[in-house]
Chain A
Amino acid sequence: MRFEKYFEPTTVEDCCQILKEHGSDAKILAGGTDIVPRLKNKSWNPIAIIGIGKIPHIDDIVVSKEGLELGAGAQLRKISMDKSLEKDYKVIMEAAGHVSSMQIRNIATIGGNACNASPSADAIQGLMVMDATAVIASSQGTREVPIEDFFTGPGKNVLNEGEILLRFKVPAPKPGTGAVYKKFAIRGDTDISIVGVACRLTLQEDGTIEEARISLAAVAPKPIRVMAAEKALVDKKLTAELIEEIGEIAADICTPISDQRGTAEYRKEMIRVWTRHALKEAKERANAS
């Protein structure tokens, strides 16, 4: 593991300047749980490493009336333990809390989990169903990208050379909202997910679904929203038949591969199973909110 230069900028501007100067030769280091193994096995050979831990507010978690601002450098364990998120953003805590082991969560960050853009990333699944927006900075200023557009393929995201992910903005949910993330893996959180299903339901007072979000992990080249299922839910009440139907839609839409963690068929079946569980639990939470 060798690189030539190491930077620790103390402002976003400095960071963007360094990124601009080094272009594709620079890599950002947040928690390091994805980059360090790659440096070690030499699948990445950057010249410069930029540690972002000293950028002010990079790991802030701020809840306001408008919503949540989640710094890209916020550690997953910190997110998963933050009591201020419990009321409206439980799904974000939950998804962050399902990433790997506690040792990993202690240092891995939400921004890192997003930028690594693994299809099986758990932590970003909460953001997917809460309509989060990514705030991206460069020397030209900042731009915002909806989270579902942030990922472009396995290991790929929308960041251009010279850009850094600063934070996520999550709008405050409407009353009657419940959301949940279900991770499925054989050895629990320690394993990389075989599948993951996040679901949010916002219910009207009579239980009619006003808004729905379903997002899937590990069953497509990137995290995917199941729009067809979301549409099929709106303006309906969640019945046993509807739950079955949505499970089918989700299983149909996903395009998993077979690998050492599970076959494509098994993954589809698990999407069916866990979509059903996620829907039921999201509804329970919405009712309780």
Chain B
Amino acid sequence: MEGLIGKGEKRIDGYDKVTGKGLFASDYVNQFPNLAHIKAYRSPYAHAKIRSFDVSKAEALEGVICILTGYEPGLDWDQFPKTSVIAKDETLWAGQIIALVCADTLEIAEKAIELIEADFEKLPAVLSYNEAIKPNPVSVVDPDYETRPLGFTDRPGDRASNRVSPNVVGAFKLHAGDVDNAMAKAETIVEGEFWTGKKTASPLECANAICRYDSDGGITMWSNGAGVHGVIKQGICRILHMEESKVRIIQPYMGGSFGSRLNPYIEMLTALICLKTKKTVSFQYTREELFIGAPSNWPCMTKVKLGATKEGTIIANDYYLAEEIGACLNNTFFSGRLSSSGAIPVYRFPNLRMDTCAVATNTVPAAEYRGLGCPEAEFGIECLVNQLADELGMSPVEVRMKNIIDKGERDAHGELITSIGLKACLQSVADVIKVEEEPKQDMGVWKKGRGCAVGGKQNTPLGRSEAEVWYNSDGSLQLFISCDENGMGATTTMAQIVANEFQVPITEVRVTKGDTAITPYDNYSASSRTTYNTGNAVKFACEDAISKLKEEIARVYGLHPSKVELKGKKAFLSGSHLQEVDIPSLFNPTSMFTQGNWGLQKGSPVKGRGIFCPAPIHQWNDKGLSDRVWNWFQYSAAAVEVAVNEETGQVKVLKVASSADTGNPINPKLVESQIEGGVHMAIGFYLNEEHLFDENGKIANANFSDYRLPTILDMPMNEDVYPLINPDPLPDGPYGAKGMAESIVIPVGPAIAHGIYKAVGVRVNGYPMTAERVLALIKEKKAKEAAK
């Protein structure tokens, strides 16, 4: 049979999921006869002093097993994920946990929460970048930042210096070339300030964990969190001081993550209460809790200035970025470097100055969210590149073609770009949507416009992936992996690699995954790395198993292993009296009494093991430069046709083309699904989704009624969504493949913004581009025109 790489194989988990036979983590609630339930008491205020907190009535309620507060002895809360830190004397965001109740039933736990008596003194809060960044803000979120040791040493710039506000809690600076000099020589300058909204990932399945107390004092957990080994197990062992042999984490089907489940906020608390109560306990987040008590994305505020020649060649980029990170105490994660990273490998910036920082606010702590800040960081640059094209009378495609980095060049960091298919991506989407032509205006008050943009995202060379492959005695294959299946189809892709290596149909491969007692180490699926990291490990494991199998077969026939070729269940031999043998027939049958069972034996598979770890970075210098800051880069281009309602400001995406440079796609059908999913996520992300706050600083739209995710009716018709793949093979990827999931979202927003400009002549400098905001801009423009 032909190779399977590049074939749109069906998802191997599809049948299980569409028939409802597969169990998701939250389904496990029904698997335990005696399950205790955890409920959280949360802060009603964004910032408050807890004057008094009395749980005695709640504790006295029959069926209440225990109540855990921030005063629990022996815990180092600094080690816990930020959103699971239980408040002690002061609450830092509306939704922060103040107490956890564990009770025999959910109803009793809820009743106990109502019986808790608390008295708060509401304190002033900073809910946005603009309030937090003031030199004398009304609230300083982390007053001890200055004196705390940072988690990292010798990383230049991590410690925020020249802090314009005490809420600045991290910084990064990069300076390549000479921006001032280049800017002085520039013939055209475009500049602007851009903002982005605060959002929450909305997987269908809310965060949940069930933890069983085992008779030996160990625990077994079922959760929909990511990273069974690298995140959850390691976290529990480290934070709760557990022996590795006594922690087992199982990941059933996950109902989505979008990055948000990389943060084990529910797992640590559930394990803690399990150990405290010695019972099987369940913690199931509600949708509201997912908004107020789970990490959000981090909005970015950018000030961008691009200098260019009159031919459209960008010669300088002066770039400021602030990440708004919520109530993250003891910040060592954020500095602005992560967000701004995606902007570097896209365009040639011979002169680039980046000055970035992290700003704390009294809102839910931020953490990983699809794109790691790149959609927020690149929005301003992309908007300005479109503006540059408009001002120079060029097409937005042409101006980009002049500036997009070519393969083999180095980006402003100094990194060698080994795989970039972005120009082909851009051309393909521009052609499909006809970006360079004007649409026919035939929709009355709905004015049409077309726009395009591009985006890039780095891959972080973190982690270690392992895989184990069994060649069973009947010729079927079994794969053991621990990468996450957030829903993207990684399990299918991995099975496809195995099937390809052994030249068997994918139906011969069974995958066992996500159980720390059974499946080998993988840190987690993030940074679009699964195909690359785990894929490489799986390929190694296959090669290992194949080589062992060849050796065994060669031994049977007295050959050197190099004389054996495998194809599915057949081995082809050279130099033997036999040309072709059926491999399963070489496995010796056994009975209960068979002795001397060396060699290939029925029921005992030949096992291969593979490990893959990407090469580490080279530490950047004091200018923020290094020839290896990241691993490889994924790219995407998008073009849209939008319609803008002049009367209401509503924006509809009529058509969208999105193209990914995935390297060689292993399963193009899954890539297309990822593109479609990414585009639809982006439509919500850029047009509607944002946290709105009430007078107490609590998220006012923490529900699906008012947090406006797009429904199926808000999406363009299927025939108007064009997923396109333009691969540039990645030399170090399995079969030249690389990841792609995060980059899709990045260009959709700036493409929509340019479409809006083309339609109604207003430039939107932030998102979500809600109807109300777009209408305000239209009115402002009309008022200006009337004044003339």
Binding site for B on A (CB under 8 A): 184, 186-188, 190-192, 259-263, 266, 269-270, 273
Query: Out of A184, A260, A266, A270, which one reaches B706, CB within 8 Å?
Result: A260
| B713 surroundings in chain A (CB, below 8 A) | 187-188, 190
* A187-B708 contact in complex given A260-B692, A260-B701, A273-B647, C-beta closer than 8 Å: yes
B771 near A186 (CB under 8 angstroms)?
yes
CB proximity to A under 8 Å, residues B677-706: 688, 692, 700-701, 705-706
B775 within 8 A of A: yes
B772 near A190 (CB under 8 angstroms)?
no
Apart from A187-B714, A190-B711: 16 A-B pairs, beta carbons within 8 A: A184-B648, A186-B688, A186-B708, A186-B771, A187-B710, A188-B711, A188-B713, A191-B705, A260-B706, A261-B706, A266-B771, A266-B772, A269-B775, A270-B648, A273-B647, A273-B648
Complex: chain A residue closest to B703, CB-CB: A260
The answer for the CA separation of A276 and B29 in the assembled complex, in Å, is: 53
B128 within 8 A of A: no
B650 within 8 A of A: yes
* A263-B711 contact in complex given A186-B650, A273-B648, C-beta closer than 8 Å: no
| A188 surroundings in chain B (CB, below 8 A) | 711, 713-714
Question: For the complex, would chain B's binding face be called helix, strand, loop or mixed by DSSP majority?
Answer: loop
A263 near B772 (CB under 8 angstroms)?
yes
Ordered by A's residue number, 11 sampled pairs between the chains whose C-beta atoms are within 8 Å are A186-B650, A187-B711, A187-B714, A188-B713, A188-B714, A190-B713, A192-B705, A260-B692, A261-B706, A262-B772, A273-B647
The answer for the CA separation of A192 and B704 in the assembled complex, in Å, is: 11
| A190 surroundings in chain B (CB, below 8 A) | 711, 713
What 0/1 pattern do residues 650 to 672 of B give for CB contact below 8 A with A? Answer: 10000000000000000000000
The answer for the CA separation of A263 and B775 in the assembled complex, in Å, is: 12
Question: For the complex, would chain A's binding face be called helix, strand, loop or mixed by DSSP majority?
Answer: mixed
The answer for the CA separation of A273 and B688 in the assembled complex, in Å, is: 21
The 8 closest A-B pairs by CB, nearest first: A260-B701, A260-B706, A260-B700, A273-B647, A266-B772, A260-B692, A190-B711, A187-B714
| A263 surroundings in chain B (CB, below 8 A) | 772
CB proximity to A under 8 Å, residues B76-96: none
A37 to chain B, nearest CB (A): 10
| B700 surroundings in chain A (CB, below 8 A) | 259-260
A177 to chain B, nearest CB (A): 26
Complex: chain A residue closest to B705, CB-CB: A192
A244 to chain B, nearest CB (A): 13
B317 to chain A, nearest CB (A): 35
A191 near B775 (CB under 8 angstroms)?
no
B447 to chain A, nearest CB (A): 15
The answer for the CA separation of A55 and B200 in the assembled complex, in Å, is: 45
The answer for the CA separation of A184 and B771 in the assembled complex, in Å, is: 11
CB proximity to A under 8 Å, residues B444-463: none
What 0/1 pattern do residues 705 to 740 of B give for CB contact below 8 A with A? Answer: 110101101100000000000000000000000000
The answer for the CA separation of A266 and B714 in the assembled complex, in Å, is: 21
| A191 surroundings in chain B (CB, below 8 A) | 705, 708
| B701 surroundings in chain A (CB, below 8 A) | 260
| A260 surroundings in chain B (CB, below 8 A) | 692, 700-701, 706
| A184 surroundings in chain B (CB, below 8 A) | 648
| A261 surroundings in chain B (CB, below 8 A) | 706
B37 to chain A, nearest CB (A): 16
| A192 surroundings in chain B (CB, below 8 A) | 705-706
| A269 surroundings in chain B (CB, below 8 A) | 775
A283 to chain B, nearest CB (A): 17
Complex: chain A residue closest to B694, CB-CB: A260
Complex: chain A residue closest to B688, CB-CB: A186
The answer for the CA separation of A191 and B771 in the assembled complex, in Å, is: 14
The answer for the CA separation of A273 and B772 in the assembled complex, in Å, is: 13
Complex: chain B residue closest to A273, CB-CB: B647
B545 to chain A, nearest CB (A): 50
B579 to chain A, nearest CB (A): 64
The answer for the CA separation of A284 and B770 in the assembled complex, in Å, is: 31
A126 to chain B, nearest CB (A): 22
Complex: chain B residue closest to A185, CB-CB: B708
